[in-house]
């Protein structure tokens, strides 16, 4: 399955179900927790309609890494953990958490994702403001945090309820 072309939501769901079956066969009686992030997570939540080449996993047990690779689940995103405002053990990624993480990024794909009409229509701007306020504590350094704040302010002014 690895190296597949771009996948839509149905293919992502199929990959996750296949992965779940493989985990059950390889680790009977055990359960694991994965936190899905990025564009793939936004697609599975119904906020994006574009395709992706993988599904980003922020937190996953090391024992699952090789099996994840077989199903195009990318566990190499831990470097972006500071793009999320909360301790990973305490939250489930909401649309607002995902948008904030993408506002940390300078990638064109991420900038386009958060500007899609389906994302803007579903976004809770008050909740996004709360997430943005919480970001400082999780940022690796002041420079990264300032870049996030600049991106967030630009985004809010252009697309927020009082902006664009």
136-160 pLDDT, tens digit each:
877 778 888 999 999 999 999 999 9
| DSSP letter string, the chain | -TT---B-HHHHHHHHHHHHHHHHHHSTT-----EEEHHHHHHHTTS--S-BS-EEEEE--GGGHHHHHHTTEE-TTGGGGGGSSS-GGG----HHHHHHHHHT---HHHHHHTTSHHHHHH--HHHHHHHHHHHHHH-SSHHHHHHHHHHHHHHHHHHSTT--
Q: Say how far apart CA 27 and CA 48 lie, in whole Å.
A: 33
Q: What's the pLDDT score for residue 154?
A: 94
Q: What's the pLDDT score for residue 27?
A: 86
Q: Say how far apart CA 130 and CA 111 lie, in whole Å.
A: 20
User: Of 94, 104, 102, which is closest to residue 136 (Cα–Cα)?
Assistant: 104
Percent of the chain with pLDDT over 90: 21
61-114 pLDDT, tens digit each:
889 889 988 988 887 776 566 666 554 443 346 888 889 989 988 889 899 999
pLDDT band at 120 (very low <50, low <70, confident <90, very high): very high
User: Of 21, 14, 10, 80, which is closest to residue 46 (Cα–Cα)?
Assistant: 10
Q: Say how far apart CA 152 and CA 156 lie, in whole Å.
A: 6
In whole angstroms, how far apart are CA 128 and each of 83, 86, 110? 13, 13, 16
Which is higher by pLDDT, 163 or 134? 134
Residue 50 has pLDDT above 50, yes or no: yes
**Residue listed under structure tokens 């607002």:** 96
């Amino acid at each position: 399955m690895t190296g597949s072309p771009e996948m839509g939501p149905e293919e992502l769901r199929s990959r996750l179900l296949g992965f779940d079956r493989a985990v059950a066969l390889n680790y009977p009686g055990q359960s694991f927790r994965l936190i899905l992030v990025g564009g793939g997570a936004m697609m599975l939540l119904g906020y994006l309609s574009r395709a992706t080449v993988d599904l980003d996993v922020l937190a996953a047990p090391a024992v699952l890494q090789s099996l994840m690779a077989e199903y195009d689940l990318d566990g190499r995103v831990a470097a972006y953990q500071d793009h999320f405002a909360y301790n990973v053990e305490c939250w489930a990624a909401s649309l607002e958490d995902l948008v904030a993480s993408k506002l940390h990024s300078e990638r064109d794909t991420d900038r386009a994702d958060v500007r899609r009409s389906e994302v803007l229509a579903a976004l809770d701007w008050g909740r996004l403001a709360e997430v943005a306020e919480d970001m400082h504590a999780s940022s690796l350094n002041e420079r990264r945090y300032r870049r996030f704040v600049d991106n967030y302010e630009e985004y809010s002014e252009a697309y927020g309820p009082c902006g664009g």
